[in-house]
Structure 1
């Protein structure tokens, strides 16, 4: 479909969020609205009924010979404003990165029901906490969402901007990080870099680890090297939250996945431990690090601080 472009006020990122929430909770209240140059928002659908709210921050300056680098942000209603603020504060060079927030129509927080559907595999109800076990959310729509990103959103972005297909970075937090791992393990060529913050590896009885095992086995059969270099930055928070969340975020978690991926010669892997942050407050610094990754810095350097 042909999206209708309109301009609107943007949501600015709030300062670091104050309290730990469950591993799938939204990171705090809706931020305040700000405006910014070079930003456009449009709704885009796949023809299957759902539409996504896409927020695009155009880069500054002329495009490089191969096109602009681009940072894709899942949960865009919350993450795009933080990325916009990070780009404004990062100084010279950062303005050359295109920012793409992938969210849902409406202002404020992302749609939780849509998140559960789009970012997850089919999930057995027994894996949900007591509050949701009797009325579990719909899950298992990640294949359709991935197809939308690849076959609908990507060409639309290329139509609007000269983007470098070899410099695409994906950022995901929590369930978004889980989805990012799924993309890495099944379609690693879709993005050149992955910034994954507190990925919900615990989800669905840690079924993502089966995909991880298959990915690693395939890499071993390929001689231990990726078809092209891929950069991966995995971050985890350290401050405890609710008891249920602490149990979920325990090992095996992002630390273990980062260690397994680092053994693959074709992957550049960095692991960032954030002991001073909780699951919510880690979002802003993790997005700043994702911007550094999109600018071409190595994940190992970013992880070292």
Structure 2
């Protein structure tokens, strides 16, 4: 699906509910999965298994993949981060442009071609994807009704996401959204031997973000969080998704 502004092309993956063809007049919740090139195959199957066991409502699951012809890390680094880092030598800070593509191209296309409910849109993002979800929440909250922010990279660019939150708070007392946050209990910082660098305390970052939102007293905001026991940054994705999607779509 091409972006008419950047001229990039992104693959979009769609999984339909089991009863989609049998219920011509029924509309379904829409679940958008960032990092779809990696997460969609697993999480769409997890969501379908939960739906088939009646743990959650049936939904249309859509995975957002990366720009065709680009390295996935380069694509997500640019598209999911809110500000540029000129000194890094790498391209960051394209989240605003990607958000426009999502709101102006992807969501209208899905609305026109599939029976999705415009008032039951759910966004899931993990790591940089969670950071992207937080940016959308704080700049265009009506794009989705529920934001699942998994192990979000709130540390990025000296916690630039908190500047965005402060800017939103200056002009708003209402935030009509549900925010569901999770992180693995092992994401507490220290030395990351795999990447040979000091890792960030993602647990503290999530709690700080939650406390900041709660302190504003936004009307219309519902917020919940959990720490997944015994899980690291990658291991928290599936159980965190299951916890959040059951809260968002649970029967």
TM-score normalised per structure 2: 0.85
Q: Counterparts of 2:236 and 2:244 in 1: how far apart (Å)?
A: 12
Which of 257, 260, 282 is equivalent to 2:209?
257
Q: Counterparts of 2:45 and 2:135 in 1: how far apart (Å)?
A: 28
Unaligned residue ranges in structure 2 (runs of 5+) = none
Is the alpha carbon distance of 1:69 and 1:213 closer, same or farther for their aligned partners in structure 2, counting shifts above 3 Å? same
Q: Counterparts of 1:165 and 1:92 in 2: how far apart (Å)?
A: 22
The answer to whether residue 221 in structure 2 is matched with residue 267 in structure 1 is yes
Unaligned residue ranges in structure 1 (runs of 5+) = 1-43, 127-132, 298-305
Q: Secondary structure at the match of 1:45?
A: coil
Aligned to 2:9: 51
Q: Counterparts of 1:139 and 1:81 in 2: how far apart (Å)?
A: 27
Tell me by how many angstroms 1:264 deviates: 2.6
Is the alpha carbon distance of 1:187 and 1:105 closer, same or farther for their aligned partners in structure 2, counting shifts above 3 Å? closer
Tell me by how many angstroms 1:256 deviates: 1.4
RMSD after superposition: 2.5
Which of 159, 168, 175 is equivalent to 2:121?
168
Is the alpha carbon distance of 1:251 and 1:283 closer, same or farther for their aligned partners in structure 2, counting shifts above 3 Å? closer
TM-score normalised per structure 1: 0.71
Aligned to 1:102: 64
The answer to whether residue 153 in structure 2 is matched with residue 193 in structure 1 is no
Tell me by how many angstroms 1:265 deviates: 3.4
Q: In the TM superposition, what whole-angstrom CA distance separates every residue of 1:232-266 from its partner, at most 9, and x where no partner exists?
A: 10112221566267652357511111122234331
Residues 169 and 194 of structure 1 are in contact (CA less than 8 Å); yes or no, is this contact kept in structure 2? yes
Tell me by how many angstroms 1:152 deviates: 0.6
Tell me by how many angstroms 1:291 deviates: 2.5
Q: Counterparts of 1:256 and 1:58 in 2: how far apart (Å)?
A: 37
Q: Counterparts of 1:152 and 1:84 in 2: how far apart (Å)?
A: 22
Q: Counterparts of 2:95 and 2:114 in 1: how far apart (Å)?
A: 26
The answer to whether residue 136 in structure 2 is matched with residue 179 in structure 1 is no
Tell me by how many angstroms 1:140 deviates: 1.6
The answer to whether residue 178 in structure 2 is matched with residue 231 in structure 1 is yes
Q: Counterparts of 2:223 and 2:24 in 1: how far apart (Å)?
A: 28
Q: Counterparts of 1:246 and 1:64 in 2: how far apart (Å)?
A: 53
Worse overlay, 186-195 or 265-274: 265-274
Residues 80 and 132 of structure 2 are in contact (CA less than 8 Å); yes or no, is this contact kept in structure 1? yes
Residues 184 and 203 of structure 2 are in contact (CA less than 8 Å); yes or no, is this contact kept in structure 1? no
Aligned to 1:116: 77
More strand by share: 2
The answer to whether residue 191 in structure 2 is matched with residue 243 in structure 1 is yes
Residues 169 and 293 of structure 1 are in contact (CA less than 8 Å); yes or no, is this contact kept in structure 2? no
Q: Counterparts of 1:296 and 1:217 in 2: how far apart (Å)?
A: 34
- Displaced runs of 4+ in structure 1, greater than 3 A? 244-247
Q: Counterparts of 1:286 and 1:251 in 2: how far apart (Å)?
A: 13
Which of 99, 109, 112 is equivalent to 1:156?
109
The answer to whether residue 34 in structure 2 is matched with residue 74 in structure 1 is yes
More helix by share: 2
Aligned residue pair count: 238
Q: Counterparts of 2:91 and 2:124 in 1: how far apart (Å)?
A: 23
Q: In the TM superposition, what whole-angstrom CA distance separates every residue of 1:21-62 from its partner, at most 9, and x where no partner exists?
A: xxxxxxxxxxxxxxxxxxxxxxx0112321111100112332
